[in-house]
Structures are given as C-alpha cells and as structure tokens.
C-alpha cells in the first residue's frame, strides 16, 4: 500500500499544487469583480428566494430551491467541515484557516457562475428527472461558440465524468465511511466493519429512491444538523473565550509566515498552510469543481439565474460559517498541539533496513492505551520535523518504516495518540464539556456522513448515466454500498493517507471545469445582469 500512496501523493502534488490553486483563486476573483460582488446578491436576494419573498419555484424541474440547496449542502456540509478542517489544521497549522475562509468567499462567485451555466444547459427532456452539470454544459454550451466543438464538447463532458465518479467514490464515499468508523471505534469500541455494514444498508435504502427522496431527506436533516452543530460549536467557543484573541491573531500571522512545531503539531510553512487551507475549503465547499450544479440542475424554476444566486450561499454557510467554527474550536482547545500521552525514559533507536529506517517493535510506555490504537512520535528526518506512526499491539508498538538518507532522531521522547480527522474535532469539542465530542460530534459525524454519501452517490450516478446510460445505475448503486463496507476494513491508516485518497480527483475536475467556466462565463454574466436589470426596472417584482 505504501507504493500506492506514494503515487497518489506525487499525483496530488502536481494536480493540486500552488499553480492550480492560484488559478482557482484567480477565476473566483475574476467573477467576483465581473458580477459586481455577487456574494452580496446571494446573501440578500438568495435568502429572499428561499423564504418566498421572491418567486422562483415555477417551470420545469423536480425539487424546490430550498430542497436543491439542502441537497447540495448535504454533500458539502459534512465531514469536510469536521474531519477535513481537522486535517487542514493538523497538517497545515492555523494559517490554513485564513486561506480556507478566503476561498470560501471567492467560492460564492464560482458557485453562482457554474450553477447558472448548468441551469442554462441542463437536459429537461424528462421534466421530473432533469440532468445537469459540467458534462452537459460542455456538451451543449461549447458547440454554441464554435462548430468545431460539436464533437469535442461531448468528449470533454465525458472526460469530466471520469474524475467526477472517482471523487464520488473516494471523497464522497470512502472519506465519509472511514471517518465515521474511526470516530465510532475511538469512542465506543465498535469494530469498523460493523459501522461499515450499518452505513451500507442505511445509504442503500435511501439512494434507491433517487433525487426526490434525497431532496426530501436532505431538506429535513441538513438544516437541523447545521443548527445543532453551530450551537454546540458556539458553546465551546464561549467556554474557551479567553483563548480566542490569541487564536485569531495566530491564524493571520501563520498564514504568511512559517509556523513552528509544538507538541503533536509538526509545524507548517506558508506554502503548506496555503495548500492545505485551499484544498480543504475546495473539498468542503466544492466551489469550482462542477459537482454541486448536478443537484441544483434538478430545481424547478423558469429563471436560471435564481438557482445560481441561491447556490452562492453554499460556500458561505459551509466554509465561512461552519468550517470556521470547527477551526476555532480545534485551535482554542489546544488539542491540535497537545502534550504527549506517554513518555519513555530513553527514546528508542532507529535501525536501517531494506525498506528504510525503523525502530521495529518497542515496549509501550505508561499511559491509557487500547489495543489497535494508532500512535506516533515526532522525529527529525532529513532536517524535517515529521510524525512516525505505529500501532499498539498488546504491550508493544509495531512501527512503520520511514524513508530518509540518514537515521532520524527523536525531537522528544514522547508518545502521542493519533487523533485522525473527525476524532481530533471530537476531542476538541470535549474541551467545552466532557462527553460533548463523544456524543454530539459522533452523532453529527454519522448524520453528516450519511447525507453526504447519498448526495454524492447521486452525483456519481449522473456521471454514469452520461457515460453508460440508465441501465448501469443499479450496478453502480450496489458497488457504492459495497465500497462503504470495504473501506472500513482498515487499509487507510493516517490523516495523510485519508487526505491523499480523498482529494486525488479534485485536480482533474478543476482542470476541466474552470476552463469551461471561463469560456462560457459571459453567458452566465449576461443572464445575471439581465435578471437584476429586470428587477430594477420592475419587470420582476416580489411575491404578493
């Protein structure tokens, strides 16, 4: 498996490197300025559409504005907000939070444009089951600009569906299932395969019903989940209020300067903070990916821009509000740079083997450990402060190999419990009230994960329909549920591996969707400006 993850990491370094993330940020700023700060329209007119102040739920489609937003949010407000933010802070440090919020704000413009384009070019041949997304935008929109795209457009659409399906299977499925199983094992001792079996059955029962059932369930559970999670987060921040001024200052200073490692935190440079903050915001809000427009394309409306404006609320709710609360809870709790849970009198020595440097098997120092727990030590390897992982086996630790040109040296003789993703967030919530993380975060993890998995199953399903046709939907749904169970059998081990496998397809989606948005962006901007011109001139008026 190590060779597999080395390949994935090398691929991610290219596809989600600084140039790609800067490209994403640039496109977001471009549409922000072109639209005259459409973020403001989403926060005002978008809310009016959801509350019924402005009409919009007429015309072809299957679900309302609120259901479409809830369905899309069920894919974004999920473990990206709990486990994803924890990974960003754990690996990128406090500075990652600054970049995460920034991409959330410009992501509002990206989401408005990509959803508007999806509405303009969606397939409504079956009004009760519309199809839309980047693949349909490429297929129908690009040929309008140039006849040479008549054949290339459908092929570009097909090319987009491949990473779409891959990310659905990894980030939308495996990431969710593994995080739930890990948190449930940590707090309740439930074997991961049992969690995987339960998740597979529950998700399977929902996705058989299609987008109408997904929209109905999402419209019920997502608002409730968001409110409960935000209230619990604000409570923890209230109890840690004395730490907040220092935390906020640390976020800004760390965003532009190297962050020194303390305790369990190994440290992160400006570049690392930038990459992890942008990646986690992208993973969480999906702005610019072209995925959320698939859910929005099912909305019932005769004005395409209305759904684009409503969709702009997604990154604000998801990243600017929910992700920020999670990040502040983690940072104010101090759990991200926690002290060692065990201590050796003398740190073990490294020896060289054919597979690299290792400490082999060592005795377990005193502390509260459970068989199977993942642990780590902090060591210097080739001048870099990093973690070296092992697993508790009875009274011993079995260590993994580390690649280095010279023998690594321990930074300190302490042994740390590894809190991966959602478990780290849960431990942070425990700082507000004992057991809050255990019960509230575990419940949120289950509900968020299920809602995300059912929505992303629909996204991947739409890619399958575009590529292979309707007859492959049921085999895809069965494979989706089987993968949930298989993921919980233990081949993903660390936060780094979880981050790698859940983001592998993001770069490929961006490299197709962003150019399509730029090429057809004038179409969306024309619709946007025309719609608000008609409101200004009184052609469109508030609902009676």
pLDDT digits (tens, 9 = 90+) for 232-259: 999 999 999 999 999 999 888 888 876 6
DSSP of 96-119? HHHHHHHHHHHHHHHHHHHHHHHH
State the Cα–Cα distance between residues 405 and 399, nearest whole angstrom: 18
Residues 475 and 467: beta-carbon distance below 8 Å: no
Tens of pLDDT along 31-60? 999 999 999 999 999 888 888 787 655 666
Identify whether 64 is part of a domain: yes
Q: Tell me the CATH number at 114.
A: 1.20.1740.10
State the Cα–Cα distance between residues 445 and 225, nearest whole angstrom: 10
Identify whether 421 is part of a domain: no
Boundary (domain end) residue, out of 411, 442, 461? 411
Identify whether 8 is part of a domain: no
Tens of pLDDT along 259-315? 666 666 665 666 677 777 777 677 677 788 888 888 888 888 888 898 899 899 988
The reply to whether 69 and 124 lie within a common domain is yes
State the Cα–Cα distance between residues 301 and 280, nearest whole angstrom: 32
Boundary (domain end) residue, out of 355, 376, 411? 411
What percentage of the chain has pLDDT greater than the value 70? 88
Which residues lie below 8 Å from residue 278, measured CB to CB, with a gap of 6+? 21, 24, 25, 99, 100, 103
pLDDT at 262: 65
The reply to whether 227 and 363 lie within a common domain is no
Parent domain of 155: 22-338+429-536
State the Cα–Cα distance between residues 29 and 516, nearest whole angstrom: 16
Boundary (domain end) residue, out of 385, 411, 437? 411
- Mean pLDDT across 61-71: 70
The mean predicted confidence, pLDDT, of the chain is 83
The reply to whether 306 and 453 lie within a common domain is yes
Stated pTM of the model = 0.80
Identify whether 3 is part of a domain: no
The reply to whether 194 and 282 lie within a common domain is yes
Number of domains composing the chain: 2
CA 164 to chain CA centroid, nearest Å:
14
pLDDT band per the 50, 70, 90 thresholds, residue 456: confident
pLDDT at 377: 83
pLDDT band per the 50, 70, 90 thresholds, residue 211: low
Identify whether 354 is part of a domain: yes
* Of 155-169, 212-226, 248-262, minimum mean pLDDT range: 212-226
The reply to whether 312 and 362 lie within a common domain is no
Residue 264: name the closest of 389, 162, 171 by CA. 389
The reply to whether 519 and 400 lie within a common domain is no
State the Cα–Cα distance between residues 360 and 391, nearest whole angstrom: 11
State the Cα–Cα distance between residues 27 and 282, nearest whole angstrom: 14
The reply to whether 484 and 524 lie within a common domain is yes
The reply to whether 321 and 366 lie within a common domain is no
Identify whether 326 is part of a domain: yes
Structure tokens at 497: 């591996």
Identify whether 15 is part of a domain: no
The reply to whether 327 and 373 lie within a common domain is no
* Of 43-52, 218-227, 436-445, minimum mean pLDDT range: 218-227
The reply to whether 81 and 149 lie within a common domain is yes
Identify whether 448 is part of a domain: yes
pLDDT at 497: 66
First to last CA, the chain: 62
């Amino acid at each position: 498996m190590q060779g597999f993850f080395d390949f994935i990491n090398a691929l991610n370094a290219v596809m989600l490197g600084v140039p790609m993330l800067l490209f994403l940020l640039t496109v977001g700023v471009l549409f922000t300025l072109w639209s005259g700060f459409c973020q403001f329209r989403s926060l005002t007119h978008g809310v009016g559409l959801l509350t019924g102040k402005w009409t919009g739920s007429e015309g072809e489609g299957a679900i309302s504005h609120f259901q479409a937003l809830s369905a899309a949010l069920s894919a974004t407000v999920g473990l990206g907000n709990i486990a994803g933010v924890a990974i960003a802070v754990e690996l990128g440090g406090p500075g990652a939070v600054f970049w995460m919020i920034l991409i959330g704000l410009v992501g509002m413009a990206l989401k408005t444009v990509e959803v508007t384009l999806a509405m303009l070019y969606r397939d409504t041949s079956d009004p009760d089951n519309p199809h839309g997304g980047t693949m349909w935008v490429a297929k129908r929109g690009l040929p309008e600009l140039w006849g040479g795209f008549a054949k290339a457009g459908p092929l570009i659409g097909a090319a987009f569906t491949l990473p779409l399906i891959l990310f659905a299977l990894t980030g939308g499925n495996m990431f969710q299932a593994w995080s739930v199983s890990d948190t449930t094992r940590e707090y309740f001792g439930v074997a991961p395969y049992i969690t995987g079996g339960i998740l597979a059955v529950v998700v399977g029962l929902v996705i058989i019903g299609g987008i109408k059932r997904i929209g109905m369930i999402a419209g019920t559970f997502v608002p409730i989940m968001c409110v409960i999670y935000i209230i619990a987060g604000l409570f923890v921040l209230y109890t840690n209020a004395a730490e907040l001024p220092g935390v906020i200052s640390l976020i800004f200073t760390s965003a532009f300067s190297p962050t020194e490692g303390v305790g369990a935190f190994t440290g992160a440079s400006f570049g690392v903070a930038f990459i992890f903050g942008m990646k986690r915001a992208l993973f969480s809000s999906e702005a610019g990916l072209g995925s959320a427009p698939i859910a929005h394309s099912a909305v019932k409306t005769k004005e395409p821009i209305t759904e684009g404006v409503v969709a702009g609320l997604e990154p604000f709710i998801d990243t600017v509000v929910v992700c920020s609360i999670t990040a502040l809870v983690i940072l104010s709790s101090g759990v991200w740079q926690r002290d060692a849970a065990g201590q050796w009198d003398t740190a073990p020595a490294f020896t060289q083997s054919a597979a690299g440097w290792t400490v082999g098997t060592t005795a377990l120092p005193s502390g509260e450990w459970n068989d199977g727990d993942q642990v780590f030590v902090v060591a210097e390897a080739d001048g870099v402060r990093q973690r070296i992982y092992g697993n508790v086996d009875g009274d011993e630790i079995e260590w993994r190999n580390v690649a280095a040109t010279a023998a690594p040296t321990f930074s300190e003789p302490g042994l740390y419990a590894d809190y991966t993703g959602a478990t780290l967030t849960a431990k942070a919530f425990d700082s507000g009230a004992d057991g809050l993380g255990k019960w509230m975060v575990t419940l949120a993890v289950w509900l968020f994960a299920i809602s995300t998995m059912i929505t992303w199953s629909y996204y991947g399903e739409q890619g399958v329909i575009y590529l292979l046709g309707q007859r492959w939907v049921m085999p895809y749904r069965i494979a989706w549920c089987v993968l949930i169970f298989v993921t919980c059998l233990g081949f993903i081990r660390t936060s780094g591996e979880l981050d790698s496998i859940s983001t592998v397809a993001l770069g490929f989606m961006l490299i197709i969707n962003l150019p399509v948005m730029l090429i057809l962006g004038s179409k969306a901007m024309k619709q946007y400006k025309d719609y608000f011109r008609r409101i200004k001139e009184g052609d469109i008026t508030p609902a009676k």
